[in-house]
A and B are shown apart, each in its own frame.
Chain A
Amino acid sequence: MEGLIEKILEYVEPDEEITPDSALKADCGLTSFDLVCITEDLSRERGMKADKVNIRACVTVKDLAVLFGIE
């Protein structure tokens, strides 16, 4: 999970600390384009392709972690 939060911090500098329950858009400030790029990065790093419909269903950092099997 820490690695995922570090990855998110390559994209945004939110005022509040990011936690697993932080909302990706509302709390972290990620845009749709940021999310596509993060999932592209994660897909390449982890050798898997995330389904784009599932990406849209990700609301929190935890949802994104579950999608990519990150603990």
Chain B
Amino acid sequence: MIEKELQNGQVVEAYPLTQAQSLMYWIFNTYGKNPAVLNIGTGQYWKDDFREDLLRQAIEEAVERCDTMRLRFSPDQQYGLVQYLADKAEIEIEDCDMSDISYEESYKIIKEWSKIPTDFIEKPLHVIKIMHLADGLNGLYVRFQHLAFDGYSSKMFISDVMAIYLHKKCGFPYPKPMRSYIEAVKGELAYLNSDREKEDTKYWMERYSKETEPIYNDYLLDNRLFKARKETGNPDLRYVEMFEGEHPESRTFYNELSAEQTNKIAEVCKKTGMTIPCVLMLGLRTALSAFNENQEDVSFKFMINRRSNLVAKTSGGIRMLFFTLRSIISPDTTFEQAAGILDDEEQEIFHHCDFHTLKMYHIKHTAMKMKSLSQTYDTLSFSYHSPVDTPAENDEIRATVKGEWYNNDYSCQNLYLTVKHRPSDNGLEFIFEYRIFEDSLEDLKVLYEKMIKAIEMGIDNPQITIGEILEEIKLDK
């Protein structure tokens, strides 16, 4: 804990940034180049006999219950940036009526709100509005700040609002209390320089000193590794140079599966012991393999949200760290076996995932004798958001729920695939956030098509081999 004097002279109990926050802040400073990168614009709307007064009360109570609604940041000479909790959230809940314009028009306007940079120094971080939209949709828009909330905790907050609203409106059970954010921060900071961190340092150093050199698999059909090999005259080159800081402007490429398709994946997973994230990652890595002459060795970054105990799950904040998920899978491996290989690798990393992403990459780059973090073997970043149970009054109203993510068109990474579940029926949504300077959209359409085809083939027959799938999804088809 640090005694921190704020710009207004007030002295507060402050804390350094956690590992996940310092990673986010570093990515923002290095690759973001626009403060709007730190905005997470979300909306949750539904059709019911809407009670605005009750929703307002529910939001006020949820804000009161959630420490990170009071979170502030302050510049600091020693730590760069420190965090503290203000006495009050000081978030004014605005009311916004767009019911006289189409949903599509309102979407465009709301999306623009997510591009407004947040001044996050010693000020409230988040924006909340009660919304009235076309076709009888009502609900709330929240612009979260990414040093205080991530995808998981933002859904937790909205779920808490809904639970309180339904308690007030229909007598549903009042939600269980949120946990202390500062307790979670203390837990995170206690890891630094601990025996556990020393053990994890040893693990990552031993791992990368033994590991063979990975290889970059491009998602662009005009393959940048092959081009770099020609340009450098080095046919053995296995990484590409990819500084991602200059052009943060991005767009999203959205796709979805039906509830039936998603349920089928879940049912086969339950029967076979495969997990949904591993099936998704297997589909992705098989499609990347097809893009790269059936390469058996595929690496990408995957996000771990590190929310295990109840303090971590219900205290808000951000806990996401990224690690390389590398898999070497031969063509004669069955889909089910390959999912098991990814599961083993994922679980192995889970044991060591409190380790700071940047420290892990420093160890890896040193072991691979690379010159900078701009040189990479990791193709893209992937995250899977497991479903968060957001209560609804009944199934009929649940079917009307729209959960929106208003991408702010700025991204810290060249390509980031997020897979999450639709709030209305749990169907899977695939959101490719891609930087426009790469001109990758057409290739991403092909990549997605092959990814889904690979998943469908593996779910229809978990004993099919990866070689058989690659033959079916090969590029000339």
A interface list, Cβ under 8 A from B = 10-13, 31-34, 36-38, 40, 52, 55-56
Contact = CB atoms under 8 A, between A and B. Distances in A.
Interface string B337-355: 0000001101110110000
B347 A52 contact: yes
B309 A32 contact: no
B310 A33 contact: no
Given A13-B176, A37-B309, 6 more contacts: A11-B308, A31-B308, A33-B304, A36-B347, A38-B308, A52-B344
A9 to B, nearest CB: 8
B306 interface: yes
A32 B176 contact: no
B275 interface: yes
Given A33-B304, A33-B350, A52-B347, A11 B275 contact: no
A26 B380 CA distance: 32
A38 B309 CA distance: 9
A11 B350 contact: no
Nearest to B349: A36
B306 A13 contact: no
Contacts of B344: 52
A21 B346 CA distance: 27
A32 B351 contact: no
B366 interface: no
B275 A36 contact: no
A10 B308 CA distance: 9
A38 B308 CA distance: 8
Contacts of B351: 36, 40, 52
B348 A34 contact: no
B350 A13 contact: no
A10 B275 contact: no
A10 B310 contact: yes
B315 to A, nearest CB: 13
Interface residues of B, number: 16
A11 B346 CA distance: 20
Contacts of B346: 32
B463 interface: no
B30 interface: no
Interface in B270-318: 275, 304, 306-310
Contacts of A10: 309-310
A32 B275 CA distance: 9
Nearest to A7: B309
Nearest to B340: A56
B261 interface: no
B360 to A, nearest CB: 17
A36 B310 contact: no
B330 interface: no
B176 A33 contact: no
A33 B386 CA distance: 12
Contacts of A11: 308-310
A14 to B, nearest CB: 12
Contacts of B386: 31
Interface in B131-182: 176
Contacts of B343: 32, 56
A11 B350 CA distance: 16
Contacts of B308: 11, 31, 33-34, 36-38
Q: Which 3 A-B pairs have the closest CB atoms?
A: A37-B308, A36-B350, A34-B308
A34 B306 CA distance: 9
A51 B181 CA distance: 33
Given A13-B176, A33-B304, A52 B310 contact: no
A33 B306 CA distance: 8
Contacts of A13: 176, 310
A11 B309 CA distance: 4
Nearest to A11: B309
Contacts of B347: 32, 36, 52, 55-56
Contacts of A55: 347
Contacts of A33: 304, 306-308, 350
A12 B176 CA distance: 12
A12 B310 CA distance: 6
A11 B306 CA distance: 12
B350 A32 contact: yes
21 contacts: A10-B309, A10-B310, A11-B308, A11-B309, A11-B310, A31-B308, A33-B307, A33-B308, A33-B350, A34-B308, A34-B309, A36-B347, A36-B350, A37-B308, A40-B351, A52-B344, A52-B348, A52-B351, A55-B347, A56-B343, A56-B347
